[in-house]
Structure 1
Amino acid sequence: MACNMHKTMIAFSILWSLYKGSLSAKYKVVSAPSVVATLGSDVLLTSLLAPEMSGEKMEIRWFKPMYRPYVHLYINGKDDYTAQMPQFANRTELLKENITRGIFPLMIRNLTAQDSGKYYCYVESSDHHSMATVDFIVTVPCHPKTHSHKESGVRIPRDVSINQERQSQAQRSDSPKEGAVGSPPVISTIADDTVFCESDGWYPEPYLIWTDNEGNKVMPSMEKVFKDEKSLYQVISAIYLPPTSSNITCTVSSSLNQSKESSRQIRAVGSPPVISTITEDTVFCESDGWYPEPYLVWTDDEGNNIIPSMEKVSKDKKSLYQVISAIYLPPASSNITCTVSSSLNQSKQSSRQTIEMRPVTCRDQYSRYIVFCACLVVILMLLGYICFLLKRLGELQRNVNGNL
């Protein structure tokens, strides 16, 4: 009974891990990797969900450097300032005009030098969470050595000075510059059926193209272009994986005939499962070379699922998966099947082997009977010895009472 309970607990933990893994990522929080702003100004720290979805019912938490107290918190459909860092009191605002589209930048007003640092944007829904980081730097503006407005006795209104600053920034950002070739595209997966590609440091504004292993274009499900403080562009795009492609390529190009591309394997059918017996009652199955992460199912000769006693999934140097599983042999089955599968976009690749189990013979039954009888004899001997000790203890107690 205890052994069966132990097997059940192990199986439950494995199934729970697989269940949590099936709740794969549904979105990614995207933000500009770095932001620079001047002392005393206001800044927007951009953040959005990809693919586009509503963030109205999610928890949105900006913090640095600790989760709590936080910079700003939006939860249960409203802002919560109860544990806000004192230095940000009355200076933050989460802009919600486009929150139903998954866009919710954070406004920080009247910047101080202490506001510099790494910021984290953490977003959590009922079944998933994701986080992005922003390196934020507050700089001190450099002023030319001319007589100040204070010295001349003339005070310039703040809104006029801000407009002048914005105009000068616009003139600087609109000034002609040579083309800039961005970083190599980085392809990442956040779910079994969704792939992201991002690249930054481009000028002029780039465009991104997805192609499958046959050179056919794949339409993106989401695409965003950002401009950083240096007026360089960052592009982020996502696709739902084509049902038959094994490789995907992301190419980022500019109008100056400059381009960079990256490719990634998105599917691989692994080796046929190899079944081996380690002991008389334990069987192992393993298979490698799979992508994405596979799942393994044991069945008996009647097609009933067998809960594994152990299962482990690992990733090799090529980012391909290997799965190893073990079961205790059911006494009544004559054949065991191990099936390893990987599902993407409702397509399924499988490979299986069958092992014939040695049927239970009269000799096996006789051996088990001998073992059972031996265990029973040992238990009876222990019980007899305990009864003898109790009897002796009672006699000693009576002798002591008689002497008294």
Structure 2
Amino acid sequence: MSAAHGAAAQGGAAHGAAALFRELTGAEPAGLWSAPGRVNLIGEHTDYNDGFVLPFAIQHRTHVALGHRADRRLRVVSTFAPDAVEIAFDDLGALFPERRDDVEEWARYPLGVAWALLRATGAAPFAGVDLVFDADVPVGAGLSSSAAIEGATASALNDVWGLDLDGVALARAGRRAENDAVGAPTGIMDQMACMLGREDAAIFLDCRTLEAQVVDLGFAEAGLELLVMDTRVKHAHSTGGYGGRRVACERGAALTGVSALRDLGVADLDRARGLMDDVTFRRVRHVVTENQRVLDTVRMLHDEGPRAIGGLLRASHASMRDDFEISVPELDLAVATADRAGAIGARMTGGGFGGAAIALVDRELVPAVTAEVERAFAAAGHVAPLCFTVRPSRGAARD
């Protein structure tokens, strides 16, 4: 997908949200807000272990058109689900988390954010709102379409309800919505990238302190593009193997006597090996070594530039494939093919069990690498991948 195509898609999503709002209500929305998806350059499954991550917001966004209501009700509607979902403010507390399954899954994201914001601020419910969504963030590709919904909702409600919360507080509300309202045991990386994203930069995030540092990527100056290879293998964090990996990490931390795997370094792995079964150890080893790879990537970007990080990307994928066991054949094929076709480095990105891989590629090689990946998928009998480039972009904001 070209930059021009991406810009057109974003405009289309904003127009789609506003058009559906007018169709639904017969009125113009009070405003439009949007929030980005994200790509994680490196640092997978480290966030809920209090570790380090290096994501960046992308140009693909979820847009929400908001209108005021005279009652105390929330109504959410989207172009990607057939039915509106409506609930009274007073019922949110009874709904989440105990009765979350009573709500269609996509609607739990925006309704959960509203619930989390009200819980966090202790504010009395405000006047009701209609929220109408459209998006061009690929769903199921590991680009955090869920955090984009959360971020757009949080940004809009923060403004119209006058909550005056900063990006970190809004990210916390998004994480609470995803954990408790949706039931997905994720960390806070996606929400922080969504809220704090900057043009041409990544966010180096300490997931324990939530301290965030802007890191220049230098892709454009180096003539590099980040190619996303969406395998179109769908995953579901709330029902898949994600939760099992998190339990294994908690077990490993308990067995080594630390509060989180963040507190272990590479030098501690020999001791850890003797304290646990092989599967738990390999889960621990991935997190510990991945944390170190994030730190090394930040240092290399600063000292040597983006062409130096290819080996770290490849090592990250091998660790997720062999130690964390969250890859699938389609992801492995995309990574291996991109590497053979001349990528600086490649790895799967996101929670795993499907979704997308990324490859750092010289700009002039993007068509050739894309063609090789498509040929490899066809030869293997896989569904054709969707390949497109992404660029580091701004975080959630009013449009």
Coarse TM-score class (shorter-chain normalised): under 0.3
Which structure dedicates a bigger proportion of its chain to strand?
Answer: 1
Kindly indicate whether structure 1 or structure 2 has the higher relative contact order, using CA contacts under 8 Å at least 6 residues apart: 2
TM-score (norm 2): 0.24
Per the normalisation by structure 1, the TM-score is: 0.23
Normalized per residue, which structure has more helix?
2
**Higher Rg of the two aligned structures:** 1
